[in-house]
Structure 1
Amino acid sequence: MEYTDTRDNAVRVNLKDAVLSGMNPATGGLYIPVRIPKLSPALLERCSAPSFRDIAFEIAKLYCSDVIPDTDLQAIIADCYPFNTPVVPVDPVTYVLELFHGPTCAFKDFGARFMARLMAYFNRSEKEPLHILVATSGDTGSAVGSAFSGVDGIGVTILYPKGKISPLQEKQLSTFTGNVRALAVEGTFDDCQRLVKTAFTDKKLRKTFRLSSANSINIARLLPQSFYYVYAVLSVKCRSLHDNKIENPAIIAVVPSGNFGNLTSGLIAKEMGAPIAGFVAATNSNKTVPDWIASGRYEPRRSVPTLSNAMDVGAPSNHERITAMYTDDEVKKILAAYWTDDNGTLEGIKCCHERTGYIIDPHGAVGWQAWYDIRKGAMLKLMSGFPNKTENPGLTPNIPSWAQNVLDNKAVGILLETAHPAKFGETVKSAIGREPPMPDRLEKLLHLPDNSVPMKNDYREFSQWLKKNLQ
C-alpha cells in the first residue's frame, strides 16, 4: 500500500514513513492512500454483524499487511480495543454510535490508541527518540497522551488553548507526567495547530529532532476511525428492518465536525464499500465548511469559542484531504452541511432528552439538531425551493443525492456521539436541569495536580522551548 501527498500526487511513501513523519515536511501536504482498497463482499454481505475487533482487523490488514504480519496486527488490535462501541437506537430511524467508552471518554481513543501502537511498532529499531507534537481543541490531546503514556522511545507535547476547553478536558490534559507534556497556549486551537504545522516545516528543527503528528493530519489517526463506521453501518443494516420496517434503508452518517478528520474517515469507509448513502457534516458557529459548500469558496477564518469546543476550528486541516478525494460537485452530492449556534446546541441537548430520554453531549447535540431538523421539514423546504439563508443556523442550500430518501421515509441516521456528556456537565445541566453521571475514570482526575506549562502564541518561543526540553 502506497501513500501520496495532497499537494504533490507524484509523491510515493510507504505506511511507516507516512505514519512516522505525520505530514510531508517538503510540501506541508497530508498523506492519503494512492488507492483506497475495497472491503470483501463476504464481510459486507453477512447476515449478522461481525464484532468490532474482527472488522478492525479486516480493515487494518488492507493497509498494513505488507509491513506488519497478521499475528502482530491481531495483537495490536486486541491491545487497542478492550472496550465496546454500542449502537443504541433512540427512535425508530435514529441510532447513536457511542464512541466514548475508551479510557478518555472520547472518540479520539480509537485513532490515538491504534496510532500509538503502530508508531511504537515502527519505532522499535530507531536509536533516536520520536517526538509527537499535537494540537487539540478538546479531546485529541487527552486521547493521545493516554495512548502514548509510558511508551519507550516516544515523547508527546500537547498544545491546547488555555481557558477555551471545558474544565474537565483541561484537567485531562494538564495532569500528564513523564513522557507526555502539555502546553497551555494563549490563543485558539487554530493558533495551536499553526504552531505545530510551522514546527513540521522548520528545516532546522527537523534536523535536530525526529518529529511526527498525532492530530488527524496523521493518516494513522484517520484509518482506524473508519473501523467504527463500517461496524456501525453493518450493525444497522442487519437490524433496521426489525426496528423500523425499512428494507435496505439509505444509511446517513451524522458527524459532529470540527477539523473534519472524523468525517474524512467516514468518506474513506464509504470508498472502501461500506453501505453509507451519505453524510451530514454538523458544525457549530465555526462554519467554514458549510460556507464552502454553499458558496464554492473555501475561506478559513479565526475560530470562535462555542459550547461544543472540540469543534472550534476555523481552518480545518482535512478540507485538504476531502478536496484531494472529490470534486466540489461530488462533495455536494455526498454531504449535507448544517450549522447551529450555542442556543441550537442547548436546544439539541434538551430536545434529544425530552423526546428519547437520551442524554447527549454538546457535540452530539449539534448532530442531533441537524438530523432532527432535516427529518422535520428542513430538507423538504430546501427541495421545495425555499433554501435557508447561509447566515442563519440551519441546512446549507445544496441538495445531496440521498435527499429524496429522507422525504420518502427510507433513510435512517447514525449519529456519532463523540464524547461522554459528563465531560460537559455544566452545559448539559443548563439544558436539562441535571448533570449526567460521571464515570470513575474521570472522577479520579479531579484530584490530580496541574502540570501544564504556559506558552505564548509565538513560534519563536515555542521552538526555543522544544529545543530546551526535548531530548
Structure 2
Amino acid sequence: MKYISLGSKGQRFSLKEVLFKGLAPDGSLFMPEFIPTLDEGFIRDFHTMELSEIAFHVLKPFVAEDVSDDVLNRIVKDTFSFEIPLKRVEDGVYALELYHGPTQAFKDVGARFLSRLLGFFNQGESRKLMVLTATSGDTGGAVAHGFHRVKGIEVVVLYPHGKVSPYQEYQITGPGDNVHAIAVNGSFDDCQRLVKDAFNDEALRQKIYMTSANSINMGRLLPQMVYYFYAAAQLRKAGIQDLPVFAVPSGNFGNITAAMLATKMGLPVKRFIAATNANDVVPRFLQSGEYDPQATIVTLANAMDVGDPSNFSRMYDLYNNHLDTLKNSLISISVSDAQIQETIKKVYNGLDYLMDPHTASAYFALNQLKDEDEAGIFVSTAHPFKFGEILEDLLPGVLEKSGYSIEFELSGAAGIDIMNPDYSDFKSRIEKMA
C-alpha cells in the first residue's frame, strides 16, 4: 500500500512518509492509493472476533508493507485496550460509546494508535520529532495523554482560549513534560491554520522534524474505521441483521470519513447521517452543491465548532467528488444549541440515558432522519462528565446522582500559555522548543 496526495495524485508515498509529513508536499491531504476490499470470510464472520482481532484485519492492508504482523498485533492490542460498548437506548436505537478510554473521548483510539506507530518508526532517530496538533476540545487531551513521555517526541497542542470546557483544558495542559499546550486567542480554525502554515513553511521544515496528530494525519484516521466494524459486530451478536444507519457528530469530519472508508472496505451500512452544530457548511453543500465555509460559530458542542472541515476533501474523494453519489450515502443536518439542550433533558428524563452535547446532536439527527423500522446507531463521542457545567445547568444534581465528581474540573489549569493567532509568533515559539 502506498499513499497519494489529493492535490497531485501522481507521486506515491510510503506509510512512514505519510505519518511523518502529516500533509503532502503540495499542502493537500494524503489518501490511500486504493481502498482494499476485505475478503468475504471476514465480512461474514467478523462478529465472532474480539475487538483487537477485528482491528488487526481491518488495518493490516494499510500498514503491512511497513509493519510486521507482530508489531501490528502489539500496537492494536495496546490501542484497543478498553471496551467500546454498543448500548440499547430504546427500540431500534443504540449508542456506540467511544468514551471509555483514558481521556473519555473517541480521540483516544486515533491518538494511541498514531503515537505508537510514530514511536515505532522513530526508533533509532538521532533528532527529536515535533508533533503539532490543533484541537477544538477532545483531540488535545487524547494527544497529550497518548504522547506523554514518548521517547524522542515533543508535542505542541493549540486550542482556542476560552472555547473548551474546563475539564478539556485540564487534560490538555495537565501532562507537561514533552507536551506543550498553547491557548490561542481565536477559533479552532485559527489553531488549525497555524499548524497548516507550519507544515507549508519549507524553511521551517528544513530546521524541524515535525508531523501532525490531527485527523489530517492518516495515522489518526485509519484506526477509527475499527469501531464501526465493532459496532456492526455487536449488532449482529444481538440478533439484528438489518444494515445499520449511523449518526455521527461531525466537526472536522474525520470520524465519519473513517466510517465511510470502512464501508468501501466492505462494512455493511445502510447510510450515514452527519450531525453538525451551527457550523453547517456540509449540510448547506449537500443542499446547494456549493462548498462555502464560514467563520466558526461557538456552540455548546465545542468539538464540532469547525467552519471549514479539513476532512471534507477526503470524504468527497471517496465518492469520486460527485455530489449525487455522496448524497446516496449521506444526509446531514444542523442541530441548534436549543435542540441539543432539549434532547439532553428529554432523553435523560424519558430513557435514563445521559449524553454530552455532541452525542445529543447525533441522537437528535438520528431521531429526525431514521425510518421507524431501521436499526439506528448514534455515536457517543465523549463522556458527559467532560461537559459537567452544561449538564448541571440543564439537570441540576445529575452528575452527583450518577456518581461523578467535578471538583477538579472546576479548579482550572494554572500557568496557561496564551498567544494571538500570529504565525510569526508561533513559528518563533516552536523554533525555540526545537
Corresponding position of 1:382: none
Superposed, 1:9-88 pairs within 5 Å as: 9-24=9-24, 26-46=25-45, 48-88=47-87
Q: Is the 8 A contact 1:177 1:451 kept in 2?
A: no
1:318 aligns to 2:308 (yes or no) = no
User: CA-to-partner distance for each residue in 1:41-66, whole Å, 9 max, x for gaps?
Assistant: 22221284422111111112121111
Aligned counterparts of 1:361 and 1:208: Cα–Cα separation in 2 = 42
Aligned counterparts of 2:121 and 2:406: Cα–Cα separation in 1 = 31
Deviation at 1:338, TM superposition (A): 1.1
Deviation at 1:450, TM superposition (A): 2.5
Deviation at 1:439, TM superposition (A): 8.2
Aligned counterparts of 1:440 and 1:451: Cα–Cα separation in 2 = 26
1:328 aligns to 2:291 (yes or no) = no
Aligned counterparts of 2:160 and 2:100: Cα–Cα separation in 1 = 25
Q: Is the 8 A contact 1:368 1:415 kept in 2?
A: yes
Aligned match for 2:423, one of 427, 436, 459 = 459
**Letter matched to residue 321 of structure 1:** R
Deviation at 1:329, TM superposition (A): 1.1
**Letter matched to residue 189 of structure 1:** F
**Letter matched to residue 230 of structure 2:** Y
**Letter matched to residue 282 of structure 1:** A
1:428 aligns to 2:391 (yes or no) = yes
Unaligned runs of 5+ in 2: none
For the structure 1 residues 6 and 94, does the alpha-carbon distance in structure 2 shift closer, same or farther, using more than 3 Å as the test? same
**Letter matched to residue 236 of structure 2:** K
Residue aligned with 2:180, SS: strand
Q: Is the 8 A contact 2:133 2:195 kept in 1?
A: yes
Corresponding position of 2:143: 144
Aligned counterparts of 1:439 and 1:226: Cα–Cα separation in 2 = 32
Corresponding position of 2:364: 369
Deviation at 1:142, TM superposition (A): 0.7
Deviation at 1:121, TM superposition (A): 0.5
Corresponding position of 1:360: 355
Q: Is the 8 A contact 1:3 1:31 kept in 2?
A: yes
Corresponding position of 1:124: 123
Corresponding position of 2:8: 8
Residue aligned with 1:183, SS: strand
User: CA-to-partner distance for each residue in 1:298-354, whole Å, 9 max, x for gaps?
Assistant: 011110100000000000000111122212111111001111111011011112213
Deviation at 1:446, TM superposition (A): 6.2
Superposed, 1:56-205 pairs within 5 Å as: 56-205=55-204
CA RMSD of aligned residues (A): 1.8
Residue aligned with 1:263, SS: helix
Aligned match for 1:249, one of 242, 246, 269 = 242
Aligned residues: 431
**Letter matched to residue 258 of structure 2:** S
Aligned counterparts of 1:10 and 1:441: Cα–Cα separation in 2 = 53
**Letter matched to residue 13 of structure 1:** F
Deviation at 1:78, TM superposition (A): 1.6
Corresponding position of 2:381: 418
Corresponding position of 1:214: 213
Q: Is the 8 A contact 1:349 1:360 kept in 2?
A: yes
Q: Is the 8 A contact 1:425 1:435 kept in 2?
A: no
Unaligned runs of 5+ in 1: 242-247, 376-405
**Letter matched to residue 99 of structure 2:** F
User: CA-to-partner distance for each residue in 1:380-414, whole Å, 9 max, x for gaps?
Assistant: xxxxxxxxxxxxxxxxxxxxxxxxxx2xx441111
Deviation at 1:240, TM superposition (A): 4.2
Aligned counterparts of 1:441 and 1:63: Cα–Cα separation in 2 = 41
Aligned counterparts of 1:133 and 1:301: Cα–Cα separation in 2 = 24
Residue aligned with 2:210, SS: strand
Residue aligned with 1:415, SS: strand
Residue aligned with 1:4, SS: strand
Normalising by structure 1, report the TM-score: 0.88
Corresponding position of 1:349: 344
**Letter matched to residue 160 of structure 2:** P
Q: Is the 8 A contact 1:132 1:212 kept in 2?
A: yes
Normalising by structure 2, report the TM-score: 0.96
Aligned counterparts of 1:277 and 1:7: Cα–Cα separation in 2 = 30
**Letter matched to residue 454 of structure 1:** I
Identity %: 40
Aligned counterparts of 1:312 and 1:141: Cα–Cα separation in 2 = 14
